[in-house]
Structure 1
């Protein structure tokens, strides 16, 4: 049985790489594992040799101590790998297949899964609908920032790349299919982005940049990205976006400078609950800032896609209401402008096959858009630190040294 190493959350601001157990076809007890899931048999699972596993902004919320994640939790929900073993109930996925893993864990059997709402599967998390690998309050499924990872319901969850050699040539792009590319795309679809649209995207981190690339793929005429970070705004400009520096103030005036009017057709929140204020308040945390500013700049009758993460428990929040996920949102403004809102995890399987095809046929260069940067697994702590400092990169962990060869 091969040795296994994984990236482990050890407390606020601290991640380490540790030796860990090789996956088994049973969910074992451990940090964050829901007691009702302990001992759950997984004959329908597959074990993957990890080819690429990404650091996500959602992971950073846990590492900053802004969730109730327990120390010892193995991190990582963005997994691309090669199948090395399958359980006895796996029928169609085969050893040797190169696959993408949706970050949502879903059974394929419940009502929500059958309605393509795989982000709120009813059967994988005993506490509430919806689950993910290596994430707090998501059932305790072991994270994939590791040499080897286990995927339940393999025939259902795994997206097989049709040509392994071709896939390895584009592996950095395909590694974005697990989460941020579908998530950004979902934000744009939810906001109604289409041909000729004007779009404002709050946040120039990887999800915001993926949303911007998605907006162009959907036919947007003008894509405007707002952020406080100059390096990230420069990254947005590198593939044709307009940029708004919200440290200068509310985005409305800068949008008017770009478009001639102070409103856009569609807006996407790619920031979430750790949002900071605009202008003079840009150094302070104001978790409702982005949602309120999007309502301000979106035209009446428009829609807001909200893939940015909001939580029900935030021990690091600055006030008691925000600690429970209660924010001072100007819902009256949204109501008066007849806005539509779509929130929640992205149902990755709704989009990942089509986006895979777009990548394989050179319709989008998502790795370039988000500045995907491979690093070895043992450099994960450095990647987390630099990402937290605002690096304009999407760090991709490469446990087995396969990505440079492919590139």
Structure 2
């Protein structure tokens, strides 16, 4: 039997690569105990992980900014090769290369029927919605590993139509598991369309994916704001305008310098709860970005909020922030008739169409987010670089398939 290794959270600022059991076609204890469903999962597959990425959501846990326990396995951005299947898997074959949405979904509940796979009702007894390798998300083993179990595989796995073509474009296709659909969800739910002017807060990988998506949706101008110049340079590399929020000045004035008017048609929060204020002496202000995008967006605009907000943050700046209660200027959003869209991106709503766009050379997402391939053993260093603000998207290659 093959061994297995996985990236594990060891406490604030520290991860390691640990040996664990090879996966079985079985549901995790939390799901079995909480729902009473059968442990055996003939509907699942075992994947040999082809690529798995480090996400900003992982980084929140590793910084100690969630209630993740020591020993939490990590990794929810998974692309893999099917190497073992249960008897109830009908439409996949061994050797298929598939993208796995970070949302785990049963495909059978009311929410899955409504294509709201981010809040599936049957895969996490604690709350609607589940994910691989994430705190409070059902106890599913993480995918920053050699091998991983995927349940309800016919529903959850997006099969790439041509194996050789998929491996040629794997650095782009690996982004389908999370950040590209998540960025697209942010832009789409903000109402970006032909000719829109767009402000994206945050030039991390999700922010850059949102900016890429806004361009794909037909935006005329995409402005990206961040406090790290290296990340802003990455946004400029594919045609975005940028605002350095570490410099003095009001956001609306800086938008006016670019557009000739102080507000945009649509805005996206790709930062989340570890937000900071603007200016050279800015400190952490969890609601800063939410308030910024309301200020920046026109009356009647949409606000897409793919940035993560949590109900438990031990490192929050005050008692309210520690339970996810933030000082959001809701009255401003109400007065401006804004539309808000929050929550996990339902990846399956978008991933097939985005796959087609990648295969047709319409979305150079790996270039735009500056994908850098590393080994599984180099994952701890990748986390450290990402935490320091590196303008890169780290793609883990456990078996050397990307390098080949």
TM-score of the superposed pair, with normalisation by structure 1: 0.97
Q: Check whether the contact 1:250–1:293 (CA below 8 A) recurs between aligned residues.
A: no
| 1:272 maps to 2:272 | yes
| 1:98 maps to 2:97 | yes
SS at match of 1:50: strand
Aligned to 1:194: 193
Q: Check whether the contact 1:27–1:37 (CA below 8 A) recurs between aligned residues.
A: no
| 1:293 maps to 2:292 | yes
Aligned to 2:25: 25
Gaps of 5+ in 2: none
User: Using the alignment, how far apart are the partners of 1:77 and 1:6 within structure 2?
Assistant: 12
Aligned to 1:59: 58
Aligned to 2:250: 250
Provide, for residues 342-375 of structure 1, a one-character-per-residue CA deviation record: whole Å limited to 9, x for no partner. Answer: 0000000000000000000001100000001100
Aligned to 1:7: 7
> For the aligned residues, what is the CA RMSD?
1.2
Aligned to 2:34: 36
SS at match of 1:333: helix
SS at match of 2:144: coil
Instruction: Please show how residues 67-78 of structure 1 align to structure 2 within 5 Å.
Output: 67-78=66-77
- Offset, 1:192: 0.2
User: Using the alignment, how far apart are the partners of 1:91 and 1:350 within structure 2?
Assistant: 22
- Offset, 1:168: 0.5
- Offset, 1:124: 0.3
User: Using the alignment, how far apart are the partners of 1:33 and 1:204 within structure 2?
Assistant: 36
Aligned to 1:215: 214
- Offset, 1:57: 0.1
Matched residue count: 402
Aligned to 2:231: 232
Aligned to 1:310: 309
- Offset, 1:186: 0.3
Greater than 3 Å deviation, 4+ residue runs: 32-35
| 1:152 maps to 2:147 | no
Q: Check whether the contact 1:170–1:360 (CA below 8 A) recurs between aligned residues.
A: yes
User: Using the alignment, how far apart are the partners of 1:168 and 1:93 within structure 2?
Assistant: 17
Provide, for residues 304-333 of structure 1, a one-character-per-residue CA deviation record: whole Å limited to 9, x for no partner. Answer: 000000000001101000001000000000
Instruction: Please show how residues 61-140 of structure 1 align to structure 2 within 5 Å.
Output: 61-140=60-139
Q: Check whether the contact 2:27–2:151 (CA below 8 A) recurs between aligned residues.
A: no
User: Using the alignment, how far apart are the partners of 1:344 and 1:240 within structure 2?
Assistant: 28
- Offset, 1:280: 4.0
Q: Check whether the contact 1:34–1:140 (CA below 8 A) recurs between aligned residues.
A: no
Provide, for residues 254-277 of structure 1, a one-character-per-residue CA deviation record: whole Å limited to 9, x for no partner. Answer: 110000000000000000000011
- Offset, 1:281: 3.9
